[in-house]
Structure 1
Amino acid sequence: MTTKKAWHVNGFLALLLALASIVGSVVLFANAGSETSGFPGAEPEVNGWFIFGGIVLIVVFIVLLTSLTIVQPNQAKIITFFGRYKGTITESGLWLVVPFSGKTKVSLKVRNFNSQTLKVNDAEGNPIEIGCVVVFKVVDTAKAVFDVDNYSKFVEVQSETAIRHIAANYAYDTFSDEQKPSLRGNADEVSQELTQELQTRLALAGVEVLETRLTHLAYAPEIASAMLQRQQAIAIIAARQKIVEGAVTMVESALQQLKDNGIELDGERRAAMINNLMVTIVSDRAATPVINTGTMYG
């Protein structure tokens, strides 16, 4: 099914014609028995033509009423005539369409679908909780109504299926030096891929996906504590590596400055100085110096 434009004309003219028809039928019925045979005291005779004309005007009134439809802004009306799709009206206003036709309302407004928090396994097999919001609108009314049973429910089911598929292709986070994409570190890339997959799935229902965004991302409760400890350990190791690199640079700079000033240290004193500087810089606590004042015996 593809959307096509339905036949429709200005409905206000048809409304005036309908009002004129009902007024004309009332007038004809009122004057149907006003004529007499011309003899004194004779009862009025019923004019069959007036009755027939009044009935015809009532039929015209009913036909015109069944042909009128109102289309609101950002709304469409699907016109069907005895089971056949005749077209769609997207212009707002009062319109005259095919008489005795079915008129199905379809909203063209932008809508949001906020998925439930789903529990899935990421690419590394870790259970995670994930949820997203999908912004969409109907662009093909015929597909939305005739090709799927309920396009709103169809969007919900396909969105959750796409989320599970995308989550299984990415790890929650990367704990190595390899620059692999992850759900936490590449949110824009994940959202773009989710949008493309959803658009492919929802094209059947005539729905256009405008945007998707992850609204919830966390480890499942059963592993959240262990993964938090893992993240803390990795952060501590990374920080220690930076501290050691800085300490080595500072020790090299100190030794070079002593050499430039003409102070030469032998191997033992050089090793002792390096040891003291490294302990002082790398330690996570303030260093307590020990001052050697000499011995009691000369």
Structure 2
Amino acid sequence: MQTEKVTTAPSGYLAFILVLVLIGAAAAAFYWQQPVVGAIICVVNFVFILPGLAIVNPNESKVLTLFGKYQGTVKQDGFFWVNPFTVKKKVSLKAYNLNGQQLKVNDSVGNPIEIAAVIVWQIKDTAKAVFAVENYLQYVNIQSEAAVRHLANSFPYDHIEDENASITLRGGSEQVGILLVQELNERLERAGIEVLEARISHLAYAPEIAHAMLQRQQASAIISARRLIVEGAVGMVEMALQKMEEKNIIELDEERKAAMVSNLLVVLCGDKSVSPIVNTGTLYH
């Protein structure tokens, strides 16, 4: 596989001055009735000198090939003169931003989801980008889609689907981004492309299960909240009974303790305002 070879080209300003001088010499030859000399000067100027001039802008490069053989890459920006018979292909070294389309795939437990990613990449090896693949832009698009699909198939959407999962697509965005960058760099190394950053830009359940999954998430949240409320209420009741016993405020038998515990739990765990009821009798009448 062809690897990049950075080359340094001579300055193009001297060649440009020579072009101007030869143009003046050709004009003088035609003026002095020397058409053959003028024609020779024009051929030398426009065939052997002028085509060799090349401008390289910042964050761009020129890949040079001579009769089908790779000669090197000019990465330094400026005005240069190279072999006039070389083919000069411009390759941008700027960072590209790929906003991937939304893909419908299954996560690791089989739930259909929609996922998309934003990928920032740039060309690291110009020779591989030009010679190793047919079209490096298309290559990046296809391989990025394949990497996102593989990533979605490797992890569950959320912990609700797999409580034992260490990484989920929804909760582990940082780890998922790092893994996506690693996989993309492995896939795009053949084309001499380096991925700088990759992030999940869209993540949702597929429309056909979105409503059911939303209800499931709400139910799970309610159960978790109720569990926390009950645990707190039991602790408060236990603390209240201990304080009353320590300070000898009142002595309660088992039946009265049960009644107090029941009342406190109703007050603390209820989701509506409590309406007090005055009991003028006793628990035994």
TM-score, normalised via structure 1 length: 0.90
Residues 182-191 or 62-71, more deviating: 62-71
Q: Distance in 2 between matches of 1:218 and 1:4?
A: 45
1:61 matched to 2:45? The reply is yes
Q: Give the partner amino acid of 1:232.
A: Q
Q: Which residue of 2 aligns with 1:163?
A: 148
- Cα distance, 1:294 vs. partner? 3.8
Aligned to 1:218: 204
CA distance in 1, matches of 2:45, 2:82: 14
1:268 aligns with one of 233, 255, 259: 255
TM-score by length of 2: 0.94
Q: How does 1:148-227 map to 2 (within 5 A)?
A: 148-175=133-160, 178=164, 180-227=166-213
- Is contact 2:121–2:195 with CA below 8 Å preserved after alignment? yes
Confirm or deny that 1:234 pairs with 2:223: no
The gaps in structure 2 that reach 5 residues or longer are none
Q: Give me the whole-angstrom Cα distance separating, in 1, the residues matched to 2:105 and 2:74.
A: 43
Q: Could you tell me the percent identity over the aligned residues?
A: 50
Q: Deviations over 1:179-210 (max 9, x none)?
A: 62101110000000000000000011111100
* Aligned 1:1-298 pairs, distance under 5 A: 1-6=2-7, 8-32=9-33, 50-62=34-46, 63-175=48-160, 178=164, 180-262=166-248, 263-294=250-281
Q: Quick one: structure 1 residues 179 and 29, their matched pair in 2 at CA, closer, same or farther if it must change by over 3 Å?
A: closer
Q: Deviation digits for residues 216-247 of structure 1, max 9, x if unmatched?
A: 01111100000000000110010011001011
Bigger-Rg structure (1/2)? 1
Counterparts in 2 of 1:52 and 1:115: CA distance versus 1, 3 Å: same
RMSD of aligned residue pairs (Cα, Å): 1.6
Is the CA contact (8 Å cut-off) linking 1:74 and 1:109 kept in structure 2?
Answer: yes
Contact conserved, 1:7 with 1:98, CA < 8 A, in 2?
Answer: no
**Residue-pair matches, total:** 279
3-state SS of the aligned residue for 2:273? Answer: coil
Alpha-carbon separation, structure 2, partners of 1:178 and 1:198: 27
Worse-matched range after superposition: 237-246 or 259-268: 259-268
User: What amino acid sits opposite 1:10 in the alignment?
Assistant: S
In the alignment, the residues of structure 1 paired with residue 211 and residue 35 of structure 2 have an alpha-carbon distance, to the nearest angstrom, of 88
Q: 1 CA distance for matches of 2:148 and 2:79?
A: 42
TM-fit CA distance, 1:80: 1.3
